């Protein structure tokens, strides 16, 4: 029997190149299975051969998605595989976006099965779940073996043309398709059950999930920037060196307020980043690269803005639940309203 | 989600970020693409003076979005 030819994509970490310090590395290629791909090949068994493993740093691909993506797609094309696998990316947003983008492009251009895996906290899920089968995974590599095995089993189903069960049963994120299924009980009876479950506080599952898209209206423009007071906020986790509020390095549920009154610039060493999601060294070397106090002061002096608010706001946006980040957002909104601030400049990592 | 709350309250906000598809998917209205995930408003390859000038230019460009 002809073996299934697979090309596999992993980031620098799962390609055994290194951690954050290697996250800016470019594309490299291994003939055969490497890193996570080895575990995948083993899980799939005899019927599959990983012909190549492509590795790219998370920053490199996330910062140049289309350019680096097309470079990788060219490599995939060269091998003309039967299937493409990426990840799993767990909660890593940069990795997830890379995996999701590559899978969606492979499907679009070559029309072969392409799957990946992510945790529900990964922003890549919302961006790519409609185009790509994204299997639900744990939060980090602890569950890697189990997750990779499930990806192998799922791919086998796809290539063998087996009929898939519901997304819940198969363990992938819904893609927004509907399929007719015959139920034992009539809709009216099911609806009444659901109402009763809701009334008595019992768990229940809706049969049709409504899209929760509610885009805000664009806030009105500032009429005259030169009269406006601006506050700097960041989710990049920059705090005073002694971290007085004991801000966490992931999943912050709050924000800190830090005095910059009279400061023309943020000095190296006095402000330190606590954020486990990226290589902090370059912005630690010059904290203004993340919280641009020096540039804002210049613009204040030049009269481009009216004033820089005398404190900046900081939180750590990493693997942060929607609930926590929404609460932090509400808190920051209240702060802005109560402090005569006209607009916000928020820097994100 | 932070910007979403701010914009919901009608507060003009510009988000300086690199992974713009994420901000876009969340519905952020004013997005300025940063230099890098690791240093949003930095150009570490430049000497300090030029880097500051470049940061002033970039910050001004981002802030100008608030007037639109």
Query: Which of A222, A295, A317 to probe by mutation at the B interface, max B CB count within 10 Å?
Result: A295
């890193």: which residue's tokens? A35
Could you give the CA distance from residue B62 to residue A136 in angstroms, rounded to a whole number? Answer: 37
Q: A114-118 and A307-308 as β-strands: parallel, antiparallel, unpaired?
A: unpaired
Q: Is A328 on the interface with B (CB under 8 A)?
A: yes
ipTM, 2 dp:
0.97
Determine the pLDDT at residue A206: 83
| C-alpha count within 13 angstroms, C-beta hemisphere, residue A117 | 30
Q: Is A307 on the interface with B (CB under 8 A)?
A: no
Residue A149: how many other CB atoms lie within 10 Å: 15
What distance in Å separates residue A137's CA from the closest CA in chain B?
Answer: 20
Could you give the CA distance from residue A278 to residue A318 in angstroms, rounded to a whole number? Answer: 9
Phi, psi angle pair for A86, to nearest 5°: -130, 140
Q: Is B52 on the interface with A (CB under 8 A)?
A: yes
Residue B13 confidence class, pLDDT cut points 50, 70, 90? very high
Query: Do A117 and A135 touch, CB atoms closer than 8 A?
Result: yes
Query: Do B26 and A127 touch, CB atoms closer than 8 A?
Result: no
Phi, psi angle pair for A256, to nearest 5°: -110, 155
Determine the pLDDT at residue A213: 60
Task: Tell me which chain A residues have a C-beta less than 8 angstroms from the C-beta of B66.
Answer: 221-222, 225, 228, 343
Residue A227 confidence class, pLDDT cut points 50, 70, 90? very high
> Measured between alpha carbons, how far apart are the two ends of chain A, in Å?
48
Could you give the CA distance from residue A76 to residue A54 in angstroms, rounded to a whole number? Answer: 9
**Range name among A25-39, A204-218, B4-18, B40-54 with the lowest pLDDT average:** A204-218
Task: Tell me which chain A residues have a C-beta less than 8 angstroms from the C-beta of B62.
Answer: 345
Average pLDDT, chain A: 93
Domain parsing of chain A, residue ranges: 4-170, 225-347
Residue A215 confidence class, pLDDT cut points 50, 70, 90? confident
Tell me the two tokens of residue A169. 């049963």
Q: Is A329 on the interface with B (CB under 8 A)?
A: yes
Determine the pLDDT at residue A208: 74
Query: Do A106 and A72 touch, CB atoms closer than 8 A?
Result: no
pLDDT at B27 over 70: yes
Name the region of A222 (left: φ>0; alpha: ψ -120 to 50; beta: rest): beta
Question: Percent of chain A, pLDDT > 90?
Answer: 84
Residues in chain A: 349
Query: Do A285 and A268 touch, CB atoms closer than 8 A?
Result: yes
Q: Is B13 on the interface with A (CB under 8 A)?
A: yes
Mean pLDDT within A214-230: 90
CA–CA–CA angle A338, A324, A239 (5° rounding): 65
Is B1 in contact with A326 (Cβ distance < 8 A)? Answer: yes
Q: Is A276 on the interface with B (CB under 8 A)?
A: no
pLDDT at A254 over 60: yes
Examine residue A88 and say whether the peptide bond preceding it is cis (omega within 30 degrees of 0).
yes
Rounded to 10°, the helix A293-302/B48-64 angle is 70
Is A347 in contact with B11 (Cβ distance < 8 A)? Answer: no
Could you give the CA distance from residue B16 to residue B3 in angstroms, rounded to a whole number? Answer: 11
Is A278 in contact with B44 (Cβ distance < 8 A)? Answer: no
pLDDT at A192 over 60: yes
pLDDT at A211 over 70: no
Q: Is A342 on the interface with B (CB under 8 A)?
A: yes
Mean pLDDT within B30-51: 95
- CA R_g for chain B: 13
Q: Is A212 on the interface with B (CB under 8 A)?
A: no
Query: Which of A236, A276, A277, A333 to probe by mutation at the B interface, max B CB count within 10 Å?
Result: A333
Determine the pLDDT at residue A212: 59
3-class DSSP state for residue A90?
A: coil
Judge residue A261's burial from the number of C-beta atoms within 10 Å of its C-beta, 0-12 exposed, 13-18 middle, 19 or more buried. exposed
Determine the pLDDT at residue A177: 82
Could you give the CA distance from residue A225 to residue A65 in angstroms, rounded to a whole number? Answer: 33
Determine the pLDDT at residue A179: 79
Q: Considering CB atoms only, which of A221, A290, A320 is closest to B68?
A: A221
DSSP label at residue A268: B
3-class DSSP state for residue A142?
A: helix
Question: Percent of chain B, pLDDT > 90?
Answer: 85
Residue A38 confidence class, pLDDT cut points 50, 70, 90? very high
Task: Tell me which chain B residues have a C-beta less than 8 angstroms from the C-beta of A321.
Answer: none
pLDDT digits (tens, 9 = 90+) for A40-85: 999 999 999 999 999 999 999 999 999 999 999 999 999 999 999 9
Phi, psi angle pair for A243, to nearest 5°: 45, 65
Q: Is A290 on the interface with B (CB under 8 A)?
A: yes
Question: Percent of chain A, pLDDT > 70?
Answer: 98
Residue A262 confidence class, pLDDT cut points 50, 70, 90? very high
Q: What are the helix (H) ranges across A258-321?
A: 281-285, 293-302
Query: Do B40 and A323 touch, CB atoms closer than 8 A?
Result: no
Determine the pLDDT at residue A1: 67
What distance in Å separates residue A38's CA from the closest CA in chain B?
Answer: 30
Cα dihedral sign, B53-B56-B61-B62: positive
Q: What are the helix (H) ranges across A46-122?
A: 58-63, 65-79, 93-110
pLDDT digits (tens, 9 = 90+) for A120-157: 999 999 899 999 999 999 999 999 999 999 999 999 99
Residue A210 confidence class, pLDDT cut points 50, 70, 90? low
Residues A4-170, CATH architecture: 3-Layer(aba) Sandwich (3.40)
């Amino acid at each position: 029997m002809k073996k299934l030819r697979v090309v596999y994509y992993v980031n620098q970490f799962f390609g055994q190149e290194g951690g954050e310090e290697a996250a800016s590395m470019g594309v490299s290629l291994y003939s055969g299975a490497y890193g996570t791909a080895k575990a995948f090949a083993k899980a799939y068994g005899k019927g599959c051969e990983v012909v190549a493993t492509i590795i790219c740093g998370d920053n490199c691909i996330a910062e140049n998605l289309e350019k680096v993506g097309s470079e990788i797609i060219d490599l995939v094309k060269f091998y003309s595989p039967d299937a493409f696998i990426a990840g799993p990316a767990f909660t890593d947003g940069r990795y997830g976006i890379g995996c999701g983008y590559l899978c969606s492009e492979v499907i679009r251009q070559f029309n072969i099965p392409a799957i990946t895996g992510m945790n529900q906290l990964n922003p890549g899920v919302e961006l790519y779940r409609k185009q790509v089968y994204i299997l639900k995974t744990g939060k980090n590599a602890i569950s890697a073996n189990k997750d990779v095995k499930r990806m192998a089993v799922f791919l086998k189903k796809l290539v063998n043309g087996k009929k898939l069960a519901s997304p819940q049963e198969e363990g992938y994120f819904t893609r927004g398709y509907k399929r007719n299924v015959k139920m034992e009980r009539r809709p009216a009876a099911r609806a009444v059950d659901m109402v009763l479950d809701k009334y008595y506080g019992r768990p229940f599952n809706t049969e049709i999930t409504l899209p929760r898209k509610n885009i805000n209206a664009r806030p009105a423009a500032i009429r005259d920037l030169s009269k406006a007071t601006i506050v700097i906020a960041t989710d990049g986790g920059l705090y005073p060196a002694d971290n007085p509020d004991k801000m966490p390095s992931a999943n912050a549920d709050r924000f800190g307020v830090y005095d910059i009154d009279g400061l023309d610039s943020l000095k190296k060493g006095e402000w330190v980043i606590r954020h486990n999601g990226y290589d902090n060294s370059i912005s630690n070397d010059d904290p203004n690269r993340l919280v641009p106090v020096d540039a804002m002061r210049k613009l204040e002096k030049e009269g481009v803005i009216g004033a820089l608010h005398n404190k900046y706001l900081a939180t750590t946006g990493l693997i942060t639940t929607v609930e926590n980040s929404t609460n932090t957002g509400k808190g920051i909104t209240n702060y802005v309203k109560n402090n005569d601030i006209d607009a916000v400049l928020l820097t994100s990592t | 989600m932070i910007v979403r709350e701010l914009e919901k309250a009608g507060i003009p906000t510009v988000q300086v970020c690199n992974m713009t598809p994420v901000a876009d998917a969340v519905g952020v209205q004013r997005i300025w693409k940063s230099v890098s995930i690791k240093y949003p408003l930095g150009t570490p390859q430049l000497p300090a003076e030029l880097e500051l000038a470049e940061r002033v230019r970039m910050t001004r460009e981002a802030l100008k979005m608030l007037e639109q």
